[in-house]
């Protein structure tokens, strides 16, 4: 029996457990910290870790495109998308310039990404078809849905008002809501980071062959 695939799979599970455990520990740490009268606010460790994972996700996808000429389109598409999401997450800091200042910065990154993808337009459909068959696709989809669908719906005030049976959420109740919503987002961003790593490894191995 060939044990190499089993060992490799087990290694990946242990390796990817590291960022997942780190995310859980960050959430646990934030549960005991009040910053500016809030828990899990914009300056929390959870928010910073979300932004770190988004930055790493963007850089890893872009690096995959730099390393592989045949995967530039999809790498720049996802790398640029992650960078736009990062700028949106940093909106509280861009608001110090003026309210909504994140938007033009995000549009510049988006336009640059679209331009780079357009230059490789002959690759895009082939890249997407290939990506759909890789392990990274399932992880990426799970992360995307967790961040941009589940956490948004689960984090709506109506859900938590109904849960606590109140008209207005008290501070402690808002902390619980924030913890769940931001925790879901962090886990989703962790999955996107793992998907980026999976894709980079796939591109690297294919390039070696």
Distances in whole angstroms, Cα of residue 135 to Cα of each of 15, 28, 54, 146, 191: 15, 30, 19, 17, 12
Express as a percent the part of the chain with pLDDT over 70. 99
Report which of residues 15 and 36 the model is more confident about.
15
pLDDT in tens, 16-72: 999 999 999 999 999 888 887 888 888 899 999 999 999 999 999 999 999 988 999
pLDDT for 140 equals: 96
**pLDDT number for residue 55:** 97
What number of other Cβ atoms are within 10 A of residue 99's Cβ?
10
Q: Of 1-5, 115-119, 193-197, which has the strongest mean pLDDT?
A: 193-197
Banded pLDDT at 1 (limits 50, 70, 90):
low
Alpha carbons 177 and 87: distance in angstroms, whole number: 23
Q: What is the mean pLDDT of residues 62-83?
A: 94
In this prediction, residue 209 has a pLDDT band, given cuts at 50, 70 and 90, of low
Mean pLDDT of 3-12: 85
Report whether pLDDT(168) > 90: no
Could you tell me which of 61, 64, 66 has the C-alpha nearest to residue 85?
Answer: 61
Name the residue ranges covered by the structural domains of the chain: 4-208
Average pLDDT over the chain reads: 92
* Residue carrying structure tokens 């890789």: 134
Q: What local confidence, expressed as pLDDT, does residue 182 receive?
A: 93
User: Contact at 8 Å (CB) between 89 and 50?
Assistant: yes
The answer to whether the beta carbons of residues 195 and 140 sit under 8 Å apart is: yes
pTM, rounded to two decimals: 0.93
């Amino acid at each position: 029996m060939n044990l190499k695939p089993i060992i490799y799979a087990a290694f990946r599970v242990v390796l990817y457990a590291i960022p997942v455990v780190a995310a859980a520990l960050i959430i646990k740490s934030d549960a005991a910290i009040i910053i500016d009268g809030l828990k899990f606010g914009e300056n929390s460790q959870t928010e910073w870790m979300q932004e770190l994972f988004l930055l790493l996700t963007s850089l890893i996808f872009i690096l995959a495109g730099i390393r592989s000429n045949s995967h530039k389109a999809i790498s720049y598409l996802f790398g640029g998308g992650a960078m736009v999401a990062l700028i949106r997450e940093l909106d509280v800091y861009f608001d110090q310039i003026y309210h909504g200042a994140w938007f033009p910065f995000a549009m510049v990154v988006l336009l640059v990404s679209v331009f780079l993808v357009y230059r490789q337009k002959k690759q895009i459909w082939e890249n997407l078809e290939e990506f759909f068959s890789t392990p990274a696709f399932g992880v990426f989809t799970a992360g995307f849905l967790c961040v941009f669908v589940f956490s948004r719906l689960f984090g709506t005030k109506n859900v938590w008002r109904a849960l606590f049976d109140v008209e207005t959420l008290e501070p402690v109740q808002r902390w619980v809501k924030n913890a769940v919503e931001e925790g879901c987002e962090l886990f989703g961003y962790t999955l996107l980071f793992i998907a980026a790593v999976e894709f980079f490894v796939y591109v690297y191995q294919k390039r070696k062959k």
